[in-house]
Amino acid sequence: MHSKFASRVNRVKSSETREILKVTERPEVISFAGGLPAPELFPIQPIQAASNAVLEENGAGSLQYSTTEGYIPLRTVICGRMKSIGIESDINKVLITSGSQQAIDLTGRLFLEEGDTIICESPTYLAAINAFKIYNPSFVEVEMDQDGMIMEELEDQLKKHPETKFIYTIPDFQNPTGRTMSRSRRERMIELANQYDVLIVEDNPYGAVRFAGEAIPPVKHFDTEGRVIYISTFSKIFAPGLRLGWICADELFIEKYVALKQSVDLHTDSFAQMITFKYMELYDIDAHIETIRAVYKDRCDVMLRCIDEFFPANVAHSVPEGGLFIWVELPKSLDSRKVLEECLKNHVAFVPGAPFFPNGKGNHTLRLNYSNMNEDRIVEGMRRIGEVLRQQIG
């Protein structure tokens, strides 16, 4: 009955990362592969208090069907939090989604026609590539340096590709590179989007987890024509298991997103929305985020020191100011998939970089996650990867 499937299904495969993650579920494996937050930091007791308060105060409401747009008090708090980083909005510009992954998928569904072009950073977020692929666009990759996407190249590509629908960017502590786009480039990106009449999809899951350097306002802060669709999530600052993200965009767009979301899943879990709101009412989420930042900073520092200590000298890497990832470029003669095979025998894992390039390259690159392992395991895991690298470089 294979013949029954729609052709779009051929464009979707179970991601390579996902298969690796299955291997890494074994407790003996030291995994730098996933993008998982540190579970020991989840505010379990406060969440329990918040759940109990929700059920006691408005139990029936939290368990009943609710509106597609999302819980108004939660959207109100989100508007306040966005204001503090430079985004002016109101609840009519905010839609609650079932994680930011849903926001990404709905964005593809709302905008992408077969043959449209998406311009993205090279490399870019794997699960966004997979979500957009369903709608059969072309991907045009723009090179990055330490300050993010290179604007001269972006302009060249916009000239070459008038069929571009949007620029997809992760400006803060990018997945997979950990790099951050400079302020001047954000301003320039808006100018270019206005000039070439394209949208910008700003995916910002990590922005709040900055542990070094100066905060830079989101690209949406500089938006002059309502061209930026801003996507964020509670997954990295609260609890990913609750699947809570949001889209902030002009009402013209949000109305359409709401109609699409209604047919996709009616609405996002009401109980999870009310717990998250109640938690922020009862507790100081910013103090909680400070804890996350401090722990991730230490883990990142340890991992960077291990690169210096254990990895061969001809290995390049990013130096993130926040987020969850370090990007590593091995000598071009090495294939990170082969390095991974050897590493798995030594019970240590990472994600090869190639799948993050939508048009295929980067065989010598890899992504390391530092948020999900404690410092001892980071040191031990990095030592093991270092050994494999030294052997393979020979």
Query: Backbone dihedral region of 28: left (phi > 0), alpha (psi from -120 to 50 degrees) or beta?
Result: alpha
Q: DSSP assignment of 216-259, as one string?
A: ---GGGG-SSS-EEEEEESTTTT-GGG--EEEE--HHHHHHHHH
Give the residue from 207, 249, 258, 245 showing the smallest Cα distance to 227: 249
Minimum distance between the CB of residue 372 and a second copy, rounded to whole angstroms? 9
Specify burial of residue 160 (Cβ count, 10 A radius: 0-12, 13-18, 19+): exposed
| Smaller CB separation from a second copy, 134 or 289 | 134
Tell me the closest approach of the beta carbon of residue 46 to a second copy, in angstroms. 10
For residue 154, the surrounding DSSP H or E stretch is helix 151-160
Find the shortest distance in angstroms from Cβ 252 to a second copy.
7
Closer CB to a second copy, residue 201 or residue 388? 201
Partnered with residue 119 across adjacent β-strands are: 140, 167
Is residue 263 exposed (0-12), middle (13-18) or buried (19+ Cβ within 10 Å)?
A: exposed
Give least dist CB 249 to a second copy, A.
Answer: 10
Instruction: Give me the phi and psi of 142, to 5 degrees please.
Output: -115, 130
Is 199 or 349 the residue whose CB approaches a second copy more closely?
Answer: 199
Residue 380: closest CA among 351, 353, 352, 346: 346
Nearer to a second copy, 154 or 249 (CB): 249
Read off the tokens for 233: 């999530």
The nearest distance, CB 144 to a second copy, in angstroms, is 24
Residue nearer to a second copy on the CB measure, 269 or 342: 269
Least Cβ distance, residue 232 to a second copy (angstroms): 15
Q: Which is nearer to a second copy, 4 or 84 (CB)?
A: 4
Minimum distance from residue 368 beta carbon to a second copy (Å): 18
Report in angstroms how near the CB of residue 41 gets to a second copy at its nearest: 9
The neighbour count for residue 384, using CB atoms within 10 Å, is 18
Residue at 353: amino acid letter: G
> Is the Cβ of residue 58 or residue 76 nearer to a second copy in the bound state?
58
| Biggest distance spanned by C-alpha atoms of the chain | 65
Strand partners, 139: 118
CA-nearest of 165, 159, 105 to 129 is 105
Q: Is 14 or 84 the residue whose CB approaches a second copy more closely? A: 14
Question: φ and ψ at 85, to 5 degrees?
Answer: -110, 10
Query: C-beta of 266: minimal distance to a second copy in Å?
Result: 5
Q: Which residue's CB is nearer to a second copy, number 174 or number 372?
A: 372
DSSP state, residue 202: E
| Comparison of 259 and 316: residue with beta carbon closer to a second copy | 259
- DSSP 8-state assignment for residue 284: -
In whole angstroms, the minimum distance from the beta carbon of 349 to a second copy comes to 16
Cβ atoms of 218 and 248 closer than 8 Å: no
The closest alpha carbon to 121, from 326, 359, 381, belongs to 359
